[in-house]
Structure 1
Amino acid sequence: MQYHIGVQILLFVSLTLLLGVFLRDLLKKTQVPYTIALLSMGILIGLLQRFEAAWLPDVYNQTVQLVADIDPHLILFLFLPTLIFESAYSIETHLFKRTFNQISLLAVPGLIISTTLTAAFVKYVFPWDWSWTVCFMFGALISATDPVAVVALLKELSSRKRLETLIEGESLLNDGTAIVLFTLFYSMLVATNGGELAVLSVLLDFSWVVSFGFLIGLLGGWLMILWIGRIFNDPLIEITTSIATAYLVFYFAEGFFHVSGVVAVVTLGVLLASQGRTRISPEVKGFLHHFWQMMAYLANTLIFVVVGIIVAVKIQLNDPQAWLMLAILYIAILLIRAIAISVLRPILDKIGVGLSKEKTLVLIWGGLRGAVALALALSVTQNENFPQQMGEQILFLCAGIVVLTIVINGGSMRYLLKKLGLSELPAAKQKTVDKAELKIQQSLQEDIAKMQKDENFAHTDWQKIKQHEYIYQEMAEEELAHLKTSEEELIIAYKRRLLESEKQFYWQLFDQGMLNVKSIQLLNKAVEKALDGEPIIYPREDLYFNQIDDTNFAQAFYIAHGFIQAQKASKQNLKDLSAPISFQHKIMYEIDKNLQQMQHYLTEINQYEPTKVQEIQTLIATRVLLNKRRQKLLDMQFQGMLEKAEAEKLIAEVETEIYQIMQR
């Protein structure tokens, strides 16, 4: 019996997502990474179809075969825009900028070194008669550290933000570089039918493809920013625009201009995460992040199962020589990646955020391969210009490396991080967390004492509640002493946390209408500069204009007003972090110096143009009160005191007024 293809695809997607939900729930209490479980299930599904289990229905076999025969271009065009955009949009832009030199070095020269060494290895070690062009094409596709696999695993296992940003950024750009190199060698092979390798032509084409891909992403990003800047608090429009733009820049880059779609989408994502953050409506930002996280989760769930099925159904299993070459190749690519990173390490260690020995080992071991490499290998097998045997050899080796790196490297990543001491927070940072936990426990104990006197809890079994580890803990300062940290390390950790919270506070002020676009950008730039290297609380001289005039008056006022509020919030945050008294005195002194200096600066601003100060303060107060009115309407709708239609009409009127104020 034949089933409609559309129905089969719908059935596969639905059941795969359900399988993902089941696995995710099942793995919560285990240390098995979700992605490895998905890949294993995909292989099992494919093997059942391949060996024709008699008890399986025809629709199962037909659907699995349909998935195994998927067009490799569909894998790239359907999944990559979602996965790459979500990763680029979620990346910490400040850390990305700081590590960009390292990321670029790993993603371009590093991949070229890996591609060249792999091509030479294949040419001289493999018994097959591959031309140099074929060897370089294979080297490019097998050297791609797939962001789908790497990012998913690092977010599950790593607690080091800098390391995660470095590997995530490298895998994003590395993936784009690999696709570009593969496409150039692939096109050359098809055009010349295996002719000589033109090195200069490859370099020129590579530069063009990457540069124009960057420009397409930049253009798409600015057009989207201009468009959503006209919209206020409409999640449907803003989120739909982000989806359409991500896919369109990828399509126009790859399908229309034949340049790097990955570079275009990465550029788009990073631009929206930095410049675009001030254009997206404050009420939509959280929703937008959650939406793309959900999209990435769905794409990851589907793609790892699809990869497993393709591996199980497509590869040839009866060639002993190919199995031997696979084993040798797996060891070789690990050594080649180690050589490439070791060659670049003297430079990597001096730029960006540096690179310790432990992080270097994680970087080497974390070079997983995934769906992108497999899709590129599949495109080779489907081209009639390539000998069938060569295509099958490339697909077998690529599929084998994908499985081995994800299962072996990915499966042992948790152990490696633990062994290198990277699975835990640095001692000083952990101590600040423990201090905050101690503060919380003390507060809970006070709450318990009050609740015990409340007649509504007269029959509560408090002894049972006090046995709950997350509610009642007898923590003491002495329990924190086992963490060996110097005074200098600890004070740096506290300062860094205060600066991070200060940065977040500015965004809260912006969302409330108490900062404008230019001022939030300048304040963020200042706090990011203070975070670079050893964190600096005081002085913050880059926040002051040398001379106040009509061109910078509004910005000076917004900056002074926002900075003073942030410093007051930092004083409270310092108390909440329960820093040692000696540290509190040192840091509080610096915060007070900031306040004193900025208060004096604000006085100068007020004296310069009192009328303008009054206008700005009136504008801020109006925006704040309108936000409060909107929130009260939402609360009344939630409580059932207003019907949805009634509330939406009133909220729309308020938002129109807010938007008009924002344009002034």
Structure 2
Amino acid sequence: MFEIAALCLVITAVLAYVNQRFIKLPTTIGVMAIALAISLCIVIAASLGLDHGLRRYEVSFLQSLDFSDVLMQGMLSFLLFAGALHVDLRGLSRFRWQVGSLALIGTVASTVIVGLAVWLILPLLGVQLPIMYCLLFGALISPTDPIAVMGILKRANAPKNLEVVIAGESLFNDGVSVVVFALFLGAATTGVIPGWGEAAGLLLREAGGGIVLGLVLGYVGFRMLKSIDQYQVEVLLTLAIVMGGYALARRLHVSGPLAMVVCGLLIGNNGRALAMSDETRRYVDMFWELVDEILNAVLFVLIGLEVLLVTFSMPLLAAGLCAIVVTLLGRFLTVGLPMRLAPRFFNLSANAWRVLTWGGLRGGISVALALSIPPGHEREVILTLTYCVVVFSILIQGLTVERVVRTL
């Protein structure tokens, strides 16, 4: 395991250097683009018999890594906590109903819209996928990725209230989507469709339990941080809260992502303002900023390399292009259109719907969920569709969202 981690860091550092030295794209987008280009070159070389076993070695490395497990059970807790740490809780509370409706109603509605649209379109392209797996794809592709969204918004200098809404939605809809995904995955693999009451109960237990656990962790962490003044110990406490809290959430079968978001909001606002000295606050901020940057870079490199595990064919590529259009349409219908029709409720500028629609980036969480589906034809189709949407989202939407922000 140590050798795998070391190799990931070495590859990431080299690609980050190449990007910074020659390409000069935003780090996460740059390293992913380079990793994707390298993987595609290996695929082409292998098809010509010129790779000398390089593709086989990279596939073996990726399979030993288990991207889904690494992200969902390891990196995600750090990334969500670090992302929530600098979200303004007071600003978020002002938009609590907007964020809540987008994260819950918007995610569920997008799941249904995207799933049904894909189910209707795929047979026309010669690709077969049962409706339950189409809804499963809708569930994993609907949440926006806070890891990708928040960094780009900061560079784009988006208006503060818009940044709060998009960041809040991105942080909270992950927990909702993971629960919805688990429901559809269970129904798809067992053939047993849960009733509305059972589904609502699971959602309430997972999401509600995660929020309550996050509140408890945040309060305990706040009291401990307030009782001492030594930055080394306080940084260690925040690290322990994240790792121990996420492990506890798994044991309690509640939403770990939501627990980390709520805990991060409390520590980042009340904890930083009332429980830390200026010196401690500076070190805590620097530590989690570094953790966020490093893990972000590693994550996007792995997304670029994972293309070797994706099955491509002309029907699947056509389906992937349609999935891009359907996902954007679903985002517009569940986020952009309501904001356009009810601007007073959302209390944002007239053109904000464009940023929320185009800035809803998909990333590593969608790929990780797709990779967690049991092997088979359905997994290959969903993984290809997911990869097409994620690559388009990060490379095209990610590089152009700043221009959309400027229209405000």
TM-score (norm: length of structure 1): 0.57
User: How many Å separate the matches in 2 of 1:184 and 1:230?
Assistant: 42
CA contact (8 A) 1:133 1:196 kept: no
CA contact (8 A) 2:225 2:234 kept: yes
User: How many Å separate the matches in 2 of 1:39 and 1:74?
Assistant: 17
User: How many Å separate the matches in 1 of 2:211 and 2:86?
Assistant: 19
- Are 2:210 and 1:210 equivalent residues in the alignment? no
Cα deviation for residue 150 of structure 1 reads: 1.1
User: How many Å separate the matches in 2 of 1:217 and 1:347?
Assistant: 34
RMSD over aligned Cα atoms: 2.3
Q: Aligned AA for 1:337? A: R
Kindly report which structure 2 residues correspond to 1:324-473, keeping only aligned pairs within 5 A, or say none.
324-345=318-339, 349-351=343-345, 354-380=347-373, 383=374, 388-418=376-406, 420=407, 422=408
**Corresponding residue for 1:67?**
62
- Are 2:79 and 1:79 equivalent residues in the alignment? no
> Kindly tell me: are residues 133 and 221 of structure 1, through their superposed partners in 2, closer, same or farther at Cα, counting changes over 3 Å?
same
Question: C-alpha deviations, 1:381-440, integer Å up to 9, x for none?
Answer: xx25xxx1111001000011100111121122122233x1x3xxxxxxxxxxxxxxxxxx
User: How many Å separate the matches in 2 of 1:207 and 1:125?
Assistant: 33
Q: Aligned AA for 1:145? A: T
Question: C-alpha deviations, 1:219-272, integer Å up to 9, x for none?
Answer: 11122122222221x22211111011112222221x212221111000100111
> Kindly tell me: are residues 208 and 7 of structure 1, through their superposed partners in 2, closer, same or farther at Cα, counting changes over 3 Å?
closer
Structure number with greater CO (CA < 8 Å, separation at least 6) is 2
Q: Aligned AA for 2:270? A: Q
Secondary structure in 1 matching 2:191:
coil
Q: Aligned AA for 2:75? A: F
CA contact (8 A) 2:337 2:353 kept: no
CA contact (8 A) 1:102 1:166 kept: yes
**Corresponding residue for 1:593?**
none
User: How many Å separate the matches in 2 of 1:63 and 1:9?
Assistant: 14
**Corresponding residue for 1:596?**
none
User: How many Å separate the matches in 2 of 1:154 and 1:27?
Assistant: 21
Q: Aligned AA for 1:378? A: L
User: How many Å separate the matches in 2 of 1:417 and 1:68?
Assistant: 39
- Are 2:179 and 1:180 equivalent residues in the alignment? yes
Kindly report which structure 2 residues correspond to 1:179-578, keeping only aligned pairs within 5 A, or say none.
179-190=178-189, 193-196=190-193, 198-232=195-229, 234-253=230-249, 255-277=250-272, 278-311=274-307, 313-317=308-312, 319-345=313-339, 349-351=343-345, 354-380=347-373, 383=374, 388-418=376-406, 420=407, 422=408
Cα deviation for residue 78 of structure 1 reads: 2.0
User: How many Å separate the matches in 1 of 2:261 and 2:85?
Assistant: 8
- Are 2:107 and 1:108 equivalent residues in the alignment? no
CA contact (8 A) 1:217 1:267 kept: yes
**Corresponding residue for 2:170?**
171
CA contact (8 A) 2:15 2:35 kept: no
- Are 2:16 and 1:24 equivalent residues in the alignment? no
User: How many Å separate the matches in 1 of 2:173 and 2:291?
Assistant: 22
CA contact (8 A) 2:172 2:258 kept: yes
> Kindly tell me: are residues 142 and 157 of structure 1, through their superposed partners in 2, closer, same or farther at Cα, counting changes over 3 Å?
same
**Corresponding residue for 1:95?**
91
User: How many Å separate the matches in 2 of 1:188 and 1:237?
Assistant: 46
Q: Aligned AA for 1:361? A: R
> Kindly tell me: are residues 93 and 360 of structure 1, through their superposed partners in 2, closer, same or farther at Cα, counting changes over 3 Å?
same
The structure with the larger Rg is 1
User: How many Å separate the matches in 2 of 1:281 and 1:77?
Assistant: 32
What is the aligned residue count? 401
User: How many Å separate the matches in 1 of 2:58 and 2:236?
Assistant: 31
**Corresponding residue for 2:159?**
160
CA contact (8 A) 2:336 2:354 kept: no
User: How many Å separate the matches in 1 of 2:59 and 2:284?
Assistant: 34
**Corresponding residue for 1:537?**
none
**Corresponding residue for 2:117?**
121
Question: C-alpha deviations, 1:588-617, integer Å up to 9, x for none?
Answer: xxxxxxxxxxxxxxxxxxxxxxxxxxxxxx
Q: Aligned AA for 1:225? A: F
Secondary structure in 2 matching 1:265:
helix
Cα deviation for residue 60 of structure 1 reads: 8.8
CA contact (8 A) 1:217 1:268 kept: yes
Question: C-alpha deviations, 1:313-359, integer Å up to 9, x for none?
Answer: 11112x2111111111211111111111245327863346x122311
Cα deviation for residue 375 of structure 1 reads: 0.2
Secondary structure in 2 matching 1:196:
coil
User: How many Å separate the matches in 1 of 2:102 and 2:214?
Assistant: 21
> Kindly tell me: are residues 16 and 217 of structure 1, through their superposed partners in 2, closer, same or farther at Cα, counting changes over 3 Å?
same
Q: Aligned AA for 1:140? A: A
CA contact (8 A) 1:133 1:194 kept: no
Cα deviation for residue 290 of structure 1 reads: 1.2
Secondary structure in 2 matching 1:90:
coil
> Kindly tell me: are residues 405 and 359 of structure 1, through their superposed partners in 2, closer, same or farther at Cα, counting changes over 3 Å?
same
Q: Aligned AA for 1:184? A: L
User: How many Å separate the matches in 1 of 2:76 and 2:191?
Assistant: 29
User: How many Å separate the matches in 2 of 1:55 and 1:227?
Assistant: 59
**Corresponding residue for 1:445?**
none
Cα deviation for residue 297 of structure 1 reads: 0.4
Q: Aligned AA for 1:206? A: L
